[in-house]
Amino acid sequence: MSSESIVKLSDRLRFQRQRFKEMMPTIPGTAYIFLAPFFITFVLFLAFPIFYTVYLSFFTYQGVASDPLFWVQFGNVYLEIPKIASLEFVGLANYQRLLRDSVFHQSMFNTIYVFAIELPLMVGLALGLAVVLNAGFTRFKGIFRSLMLLPVSANTVAYSVVFVVIVAEGGLLDFIFQLFGIAPLNWLGNGFWSRNLMAFMVVWRWTGYNMIIILAGLQTISESLYEAAEIDGASRLEKFRYITIPQLKPVLLFVLVTTTIGSFKKFSEPTILIGAGAPVKETRTVVYYIYEVAFQNLQLGYGSALTVVLVGIVMSLSVIQLKWS
């Protein structure tokens, strides 16, 4: 078959498809039919849990309900929708309780303490590494990028267990300390070191991720800006301060906000450390405390109030970062 015949056949098929499309009836709202699965999933698994958590924070959970929420009968067909739970309205009592809850205050202190260590390290180290990898004199950039990004691929539970094995008594870290004549630290028995270990674990895992994002931002900065600054006699520090940092503001803002959110929703790391024998008081985070209250003690109302307060704190910090930047 010649090329001309192929073109004619293609045109004939296209015209037939267009005529067939014109013959088909137009169904109003077709786009919404195709979008419906997304919206149904969104409402069931995201929107409803959010609103129900806020609703539940004003009640005390008293077990699974047996009474129907409502029922519908169509002839011989009877449909009953049961209540999700048996609840007792308590108003703001759950929020008043958390103001007096010393365990919540301690867990919030632990979370903020770890956040205060993680944020400057994760952002500062990521920025420094990204600047070095973006420099013209750096060789084997692809290898270094891959090595720095490897920790992100590690499973959260797996890498936490590896850290526990490394810092355990008689582990690799104790062996290295002894080689240099340094007394080993009681990482899992001392609350101060356990809390710092949790921060170092997260820094090890996520610094490479932040570095890749910042590096992508650095590569979008036009070289003409640096060339103009060199003509004006600007030093490397001045170029970094007056060109690099201002141009990176949107990227740094994204890194700050995501790091803040990640720091306040930490759960796997404290769970592994506490399971390995670390002091609960110094390593319990807010999310871990919510897990204890809601799923171990089945105080779902109070756990929902703690969740609402935590979300409010994270949102406030994010808004402050947006305004500040």
Name the CATH architecture for the domain at 94-324: Orthogonal Bundle (1.10)
Question: Are 122 and 210 contacting, i.e. CB atoms less than 8 angstroms apart?
Answer: yes
* Structure confidence at residue 70 (pLDDT): 62
Closest CA to 256 of 204, 219, 213, 286: 213
| pLDDT digit string (tens) for the chain, length 325 residues | 566 666 666 777 777 777 776 776 666 777 788 888 998 999 888 898 899 899 999 999 877 766 666 666 666 777 766 677 778 889 999 999 999 999 999 999 999 999 999 999 999 999 999 988 888 777 877 888 888 888 888 888 888 999 999 988 888 888 888 888 888 888 888 889 999 999 999 999 999 999 999 999 998 888 888 888 888 888 888 888 888 899 999 999 999 999 999 999 899 999 999 998 899 999 999 999 999 999 898 899 999 999 999 999 999 988 888 888 6
* pLDDT of amino acid 197: 92
Give residue limits of the domains in the chain: 3-93, 94-324
pLDDT for position 235: 86
Work out the end-to-end distance of the chain between its first and last CA atoms, rounded to an integer number of angstroms: 65
What is the pLDDT at residue 8?
65
Instruction: Give the phi and the psi of residue 88 in degrees, each rounded to 5.
Output: -125, 125
Give the pLDDT score at 1: 55
Ramachandran region, residue 24 (left: φ > 0; alpha: ψ -120 to 50; beta: rest): beta
> What is the value of pTM for the model shown?
0.82
Output the pLDDT for position 69.
63
In 3D space, the residue among 102, 106, 109, 90 whose CA is nearest the CA of residue 302 turns out to be: 90
DSSP per-residue codes, 9-66: HHHHHHHHHHHHHHHSPPPTTHHHHHHHHHHHHHIIIIIHHHHHHHHHTTEEE-S---
